Amino acid sequence: MPFLGKMSGSARAKAPTYERYITGPVERFDERDNVFARADLFRYFGEGSEERRRYYAEHPELRAYDERTAGLPGLGRFAGAHEWAYAIPFEFCRDIASERFVDGEPSDTRAEVTPEEAARLVRRRGRELGADLVGAGPLKESWVYSRVGRSFGNAPGFEPWGKPVDLSRHQHAVTMAFRMDHDLTRAAPEFPTVVATALAYAASAWVAVRLASYIRSLGYSARAHHVYNYRVLVVPVAVDCGLGELSRAGFLLTREFGLGQRLSVVTTELPLAHDEPIDIGVRSFCERCLICAENCPSGAIPLGDRTEHIGVMKWKLDAEKCYRYWHAVGTDCAICMSTCPWTRPHTWLHRAMSRLAAVSGPHQTLMVWGAKLLYGGARRPASRRAPGMESLRPTRLDAHMRAMGVALCALLALAVWAAVDVARTGTISLGGAIPPGAAIQLGAASDALWWTWAGWTLLGVAVAWTFAAEREPRASLLSALFFGVLSALGVLALFAVAS
Ligand code: SF4
Ligand code: SF4
């Protein structure tokens, strides 16, 4: 099983859940066709370059979109004085993306390890280096790009644009997930979200390079794949490694972080025991939930059924629409990520809810309604004058949250006090604060009922407190209201029984 620490417990599946949707032979994807590689044709290759000429001779239908997009202002333009916060991590990713960092010769001396030992070693090293989730699985040829698409204009040290990709020497993959900062991504689509992306990518790049180097030191060939030098489609590889499932939004969805992570991969010849893929109910949850699609400002996420793409039935993200919106807003948007009900801080409440959500069934529909009610409707469109990092400093909202925390703690103390009273004296006198004549005599209601009431009240306080700590005022107030009303009705019913 993947090294997930306390986060483990996912439902293991015999085969990756996407396999049920494979309609025929899966064609390898040509990296040159993705929107970033096409943008590179304008950014790094000259007007009359052979690469540009060749590409649009084969894909004349894409030229108009690509030319229009290339003329748009870039990402980060609203960052102001905080530009460094995302620019430096991305520069770092580029600095360690050339072949001499991601690949190399293995050591002459080969360590003799069993596949199980090797998998354990690699997982432990990945975690030590900073990965939040690590899984090992097979490297399937279908998920290897057919040709190189990103090379910074054939910069020295990078494999040239259009070169066929051959990873046949590697049969195994290690996928690592890096949690994105929740406070930054919840600002989506404003500027802080792109900082979260950059930081997670930088961590994922650094750890992948270090892990590949570690495996080579054991005497086995290994190559890192990270944001500026992927040779594989990371999402299906991550699914094969048992980290999560493919979602409607087109990203990997994990039970731990929802859509809120970035991925890197190490492919290797080191024989590794594979983790089993998981089934956490994402297919059926995404069928019932349209939150990301309803909130997507560009309409890039399909509201309808899966469609066939390179031999797989899937919800196909319209990358062109999405990418154009990035340019409009000046960030990588991430509204889908931040509105997905699975993308929540890793609190006890989220863990409990994600366990329930991972079981396919009609209750998932109720959970979607609950998420809409608790977290509110559509996100506002970006202001186009995105706030800087100062938006994350304590605000009046934080002050309100603190006040609510104090109030909830007071409620908690009262509930505990009342429960102790009940247990000790059979009355609620709050340690004598209520005069003996006015003390509530409980008599007829059983202790079990009182403890149930106290437990319910405590659960309500804990839920409302957790939402407050997550800075979700609406969810905190609604849950306090829900538990509070039922708690008050419960206590009235118990008094009625007692009298
Ligand atoms: S990043 Fe924004 S535009 Fe792109 S799919 Fe997600 S919500 Fe839509
Ligand atoms: S928002 Fe809903 S539909 Fe979209 S990925 Fe998350 S669970 Fe699936």
- Domain co-membership, 353 together with 419: no
Give residue 8 CA to ligand 2 midpoint distance, Å. Answer: 21
Ligand 1 and 289: CB distance under 6 A: no
Ligand 1 atom nearest to 250, measured from its CA: 5
**Looking at residues 33-48, what average pLDDT do you find?**
93
Tell me, using a 6 A CB cutoff, whether residue 293 lines ligand 1. Answer: no
Whole-number Å distance between alpha carbons of 281 and 18: 12
Model confidence at 7: pLDDT above 50 = no
Mean pLDDT taken over the chain: 87
70 with 144, same domain: the answer is yes
Band of pLDDT at residue 474, cut at 50, 70 and 90: confident
Do residues 276 and 215 share a domain?
yes
DSSP string, 36-47: HHHHHHHHTS-T
Across 293-307, average pLDDT: 93
* pLDDT of 433: 67
With a CB cutoff of 8 Å and minimum separation 6, the contacts of 410 are none
List strand residue ranges (DSSP E) for 15-132, in order.
none
Ligand 2 geometric centre to CA of 248 (Å) = 6
Query: Whole-prediction pTM value?
Result: 0.86
How far, in Å, is the centroid of ligand 2 from the Cα of 340? 5
Q: How far is the CA of 52 from the centre of ligand 1 (A)?
A: 27
Assess if residue 80 is contained within a domain: yes
Q: Which of 77-81, 82-86, 192-196 has the lowest mean pLDDT?
A: 77-81
**190 in a domain, yes or no?**
yes
* 150-155, Cβ contacts within 8 angstroms, sequence gap of 24 or more: 150/31, 150/36, 150/37, 150/40, 150/228, 150/229, 150/230, 151/40, 151/44, 152/40, 152/44, 152/94, 152/228, 153/40, 153/43, 153/44, 153/45, 154/44, 154/51, 155/44, 155/98
Highest mean pLDDT (candidates 383-397, 423-437, 444-458, 463-477):
463-477
470 or 428, which is more confident = 470
pLDDT of residue 454: 81
pLDDT of residue 379: 54
Residue 43 included in any domain: yes
DSSP single-letter state for residue 431:
T
Which range has the top average pLDDT, 2-16, 94-108, 359-373, 468-482?
Answer: 94-108
- Please report whether residue 47 resides in a domain: yes
Pocket-testing residue among 286, 288, 343, 379, ligand 2, by greatest number of atoms within 8 A of Cβ:
286
The preferred substitution site among 246, 248, 296 for testing ligand 2, maximizing ligand atoms within 8 Å of CB, is: 248
Measure CA of the first residue to CA of the last residue in the chain; give whole Å. Answer: 56
| Residue 93 vs residue 86, higher pLDDT | 93
Element (H, E) at 75: none
Indicate if the pLDDT at residue 257 is higher than 60: yes
pLDDT of residue 472: 85
Quickly state the pLDDT bin for 383 (edges 50, 70, 90): very low
Asked whether 96 lines ligand 2 (CB < 6 A), one says no
> Would the CB of 259 count as within 6 Å of ligand 1?
no
Query: Which whole number is the average pLDDT over 133-153?
Result: 97
Residue after which a domain boundary falls, among 357, 383, 403: 357
Residue 392 binned pLDDT confidence (cut-offs 50, 70, 90): very low
- Give Rg (Cα) of the chain: 26
Render pLDDT for 400-441 as a digit per residue (tens, 0 to 9).
666 666 776 776 677 667 766 766 666 667 666 666 655 555
> CA dist 304 to 334, 412, 424, Å?
21, 45, 59
- Distance from Cα 215 to the centre of ligand 1, integer Å: 36
Among 329, 357, 385, the domain boundary falls at 357
Instruction: State the pLDDT at residue 229.
Output: 96
Instruction: Verify that 336 and 399 share a domain, yes or no.
Output: no
Whether residue 296 has its Cβ less than 6 Å from ligand 1: yes
CA 251–ligand 1 middle distance (angstroms): 11
Q: Which of 259, 286, 325 to mutate to test the pocket of ligand 1 (most atoms within 8 A of CB)?
A: 325
Q: Establish if 29 belongs to a structural domain.
A: yes
Closest C-alpha to ligand 1, atom 3: 322
Asked whether residue 157 carries a pLDDT value surpassing 80, the answer given is yes
Q: How far is the CA of 417 from the centre of ligand 2 (A)?
A: 42
Q: What's the whole-number mean pLDDT along residues 274-285?
A: 94
Looking at per-residue confidence, does 131 or 17 come out higher? 131
Task: Compute CA distances 382 → 298, 327, 379, whole Å.
Answer: 12, 12, 9
Task: Among 251, 253, 280, 292, name the best residue to mutate to test ligand 2's pocket (greatest count of ligand atoms within 8 A of Cβ).
Answer: 292
Judge if the beta carbon of residue 188 lies within 6 A of ligand 1: no
Any ligand 2 atom below 6 A from CB of 247: yes
State the Cα angle at 454 between 450 and 458, rounded to 5°: 170
* 289 CB within 6 A, ligand 2: yes
Task: Say whether both 72 and 201 belong to one domain.
Answer: yes
Residue 436 and residue 342 share a domain: no
Is residue 335 domain-shared with residue 238, that is, in the same domain?
yes
State percent of the chain over pLDDT 90: 60
Query: Do residues 103 and 32 both lie within one domain?
Result: yes
pLDDT confidence tier of residue 198, bands split at 50, 70 and 90: very high
* CA of 93 relative to ligand 2 center, distance in Å: 29
Same domain assignment for residues 326 and 466? no
Nearest 5 degrees, angle CA 308-CA 313-CA 317? Answer: 75
The CB of 342 under 6 Å from ligand 2? The reply is: yes
State the residue range of the domain holding 158.
5-357
Please indicate, yes or no, whether residues 186 and 63 belong to a single structural domain of this protein.
yes
Residue 473: predicted pLDDT = 82
Q: Kindly give the distance from the C-alpha atom of residue 372 to the centroid of ligand 2, in angstroms, as a whole number.
A: 12
Instruction: Give the model's pLDDT for residue 5.
Output: 35
Cα-based distances in Å from 266 to 3, 103, 133, 167, 486: 16, 10, 14, 12, 52
* Residue 59 covered by a domain: yes
Cβ of 285 closer than 6 Å to ligand 2, yes or no, is yes
Please tell me the predicted confidence (pLDDT) of residue 401: 65
Taking residues 14-33, report their average pLDDT: 89
Q: Using the mean position of ligand 2's atoms as its centre, give its distance from the Cα of residue 55 in Å.
A: 34
Share of the chain above pLDDT 70, in %: 84
If pLDDT is split at 50, 70 and 90, which confidence band does 481 have? Answer: confident
Query: Which of 357, 384, 404 is the last residue before a domain boundary?
Result: 357
How many domains in the chain?
A: 2
- Does residue 374 fall inside a structural domain? no
Residue 128 has a pLDDT of: 98
Q: Best mutation site among 342, 367, 374, 375 for ligand 2, i.e. most ligand atoms within 8 A of its Cβ?
A: 342
Beta-bridge mates of residue 427: 441
Q: Is the pLDDT of residue 344 over 50?
A: yes
Same domain, 57 and 203: yes
Side chain identity at 448, as an amino acid letter? A
Report the pLDDT value the prediction gives residue 432, as an integer from 0 to 100: 67
Which pLDDT score is estimated for 320?
95
Would 424 be classed as within a structural domain?
yes
Ligand with the closest atom to the CA of 319: 1
How far is the centre of ligand 1, averaged over its atoms, from the C-alpha of 294 (Å)? 10
- Pair (54, 100) in one structural domain: yes
Amino acid 495: pLDDT? 67
